Every structure is written in C-alpha cells, then in structure tokens.
A and B are shown apart, each in its own frame.
Chain A
Amino acid sequence: MPIDTIFGTTVDLLAKSIDLRAKNHTMISANLANVETPNFTPTSLSFEDELKGALKEKKGAPSVTNPRHIPLKGHGATLQQVEGRVIETPSTTPGKDNNGVELEAEMGRMVENQLMYNASIQILGKKFEGLKTAIKGQ
C-alpha cells in the first residue's frame, strides 16, 4: 500500500494551510505595525481559492507525479505549489496622511486567521491521533 493513501490529502492540505496562515499573520503584523505610517497601503494574503482549486484538480486532471513535472496550462497548481497571492487592501476612506490601515478590520482578520490556524492544528493533531489508534489496534 503506498504511504500516500494513509495520510491522504488531509495532511498535505492542513500543512499547507498552516504554512499560509503563518505567512498571513506576518502580513497582518506588518499592517498593524504601520498603523500610523503615512502613505502605507496594507497587504493581505489570498489563498483560499487557490487551495480549493488545487484540491479539485485531483479528480480527472493529468496529475503531476514528479515534482519536476510542469503542470499543464489551465490546470491549477498542486497543493505544494500553492503560495497565495499578495493583494493590496487599501482603505476606502484613507485619512489625511493617506494611510490605508483600518485597525478594527486588521484585528478582526488577525483573530479569524488565528482561529483558523488553531483549528487546522487541532484537526492535524486528531488525524495523527486517529492513525496512532489504528496502529495500536485498541
């Protein structure tokens, strides 16, 4: 039995989402750090669509069996290749100093990101726990 089927896509997907959420936290920290820097435009990481796309590609599409394969055009990236896009999120009502950071929005985004991060970690932990139970046969 190939080892891949034990872990399935769950572990890959969770690992990727943990990684991307960690990156997203760095971006949110940077926005918060620059909450009063003139002419600063906040950025955020957008990756949910890409992750979804990468999951869908699994079915029917020519799969990339070697990391050095170039994926066919029109097909989304594989899970490993998802890196997220850095998008600028300027405020709709920038103040006099042209700073685009909205403190409330950033704090909200930070809490959401943190919760989703913790959720991913927890699910990953449970997945391993389940595997352990299966191995022990208890």
Chain B
Amino acid sequence: MDFFSSMQISSSALTAERTRMNLISSNLANANSTKTAEGGPYKRKDAVFSATQVAETFRSALDRMRRGAPQGVEVTQIVEDQNPPRLQYDPTHPDANAQGYVALPNVNVVEEMADMIAATRAYEANVTAVQAAKSMALKTLEIGSK
C-alpha cells in the first residue's frame, strides 16, 4: 500500500498549479504596468512544467527501475514572454515615445483568464485525487473493525 507516494505526487501538482496561479495573478495585476525595475513595460511570465520523480524510499526506487514509476510535476523554469509590447497611441502618457506611442505589457487579459480557469480545474482535480487517496486509506483501516 502506497498511498503516501500518490499523495506526494498530487501535492507536487498542487504546488505547481499554485505557482502558475501566482504568475497569472502577477500578469493580471501588471496588465497595464509601463515601468519595471528592469526598465520597459512588464513582460508576461509563464511557468514551464516538467514531470519529475517525487522523493522516494529505497523500495519505490527499486520498483521504479523495474517498471517505470509514476511521476509528479514541478515548475522547472519561469520564462518571460518575448512577444513585443502592445503599442498604444497616447501622447499625453508620461512614458510615450517621440511618436506618441506607449509600450504596454504583452499581457492579454482574456488569455490570462482562460489560463486561470485551466489552472483552477487542474488544482481541483488534484485535490480530488488527494481526497480519494485519503478515503481509500481510511477505508482500509475499517477492515475487521466491526
């Protein structure tokens, strides 16, 4: 019985999805930020997910070598979107260039909202998996309890 590793896998996913949610919040919050510490408008940030082995016992490591084991997930990198900034004509804006255009962040609010829903659903699915593991483990303890 190995419910703890399945819980570990699910919680690795919860962590990853939360990181992604933080990035989405940051993107939405800065959808109109024209100044950043690095200079220029804010650049949209995105998380890179990759499958990974969760911390394991000797036995599970042996099992994995024998027949490919289930993998957790982790955020390996946070990348900045290199798409060009949106240019908007607004000569009165203090950050406008000589032609009167302001460079706005390359954040598309609609896209971020869609991403946010995807992240929420993925998070929920993993919470359900943890709940299932928990209820199965508890059910096992009921054997012979009557």
Q: Which residues of A contact B (CB under 8 A)?
A: 18-19, 22-23, 25-38, 40, 43, 83, 86, 103, 106-107, 110-111, 114, 117-118, 121, 124-125, 128-129
Given A32-B122, A125-B146; 15 other pairs, CB 8 A cutoff:
A22-B3, A25-B6, A25-B129, A28-B129, A29-B129, A32-B126, A33-B71, A33-B72, A36-B122, A37-B73, A86-B67, A103-B122, A124-B143, A125-B142, A129-B144
**A28 CA / B126 CA spacing, docked (Å):** 10
**A27 CA / B51 CA spacing, docked (Å):** 13
B93 within 8 A of A: no
Does B146 contact A37, Cβ atoms closer than 8 Å?
no
Does B143 contact A121, Cβ atoms closer than 8 Å?
yes
Decide: A30 near B136, CB < 8 A? Known: A23-B2, A128-B144: no
Decide: A30 near B132, CB < 8 A? Known: A18-B140, A125-B142: no
Chain A residues within an 8 Å CB radius of B51: 34, 37, 40
Does B1 contact A19, Cβ atoms closer than 8 Å?
yes
Q: Which residue of B lies closest to A84 (CB)?
A: B67
Q: Which of B1-38 contact A (CB under 8 A)?
A: 1-3, 5-7, 9-10, 12-13, 16
Decide: A114 near B132, CB < 8 A? Known: A25-B6, A34-B13, A40-B51: yes
Does B139 contact A30, Cβ atoms closer than 8 Å?
no
Give the interface SS of chain B, mostly helix, strand, loop or mixed: helix
Chain A residues within an 8 Å CB radius of B139: 117-118, 121
Among A22, A40, A43, chain B packs the most CB atoms within 10 A around the CB of A22
Q: How far is the CB of B35 from chain A (nearest CB, A)?
A: 32
Does B125 contact A86, Cβ atoms closer than 8 Å?
no
Does B121 contact A33, Cβ atoms closer than 8 Å?
no
- Chain B 106-139 interface mask (CB, 8 Å, partner A; 1/0): 0000000000001001100110110011011001
Chain B residues within an 8 Å CB radius of A107: 125, 128
**A33 CA / B124 CA spacing, docked (Å):** 11
Q: How far is the CB of B86 from chain A (nearest CB, A)?
A: 23
Does B140 contact A121, Cβ atoms closer than 8 Å?
yes
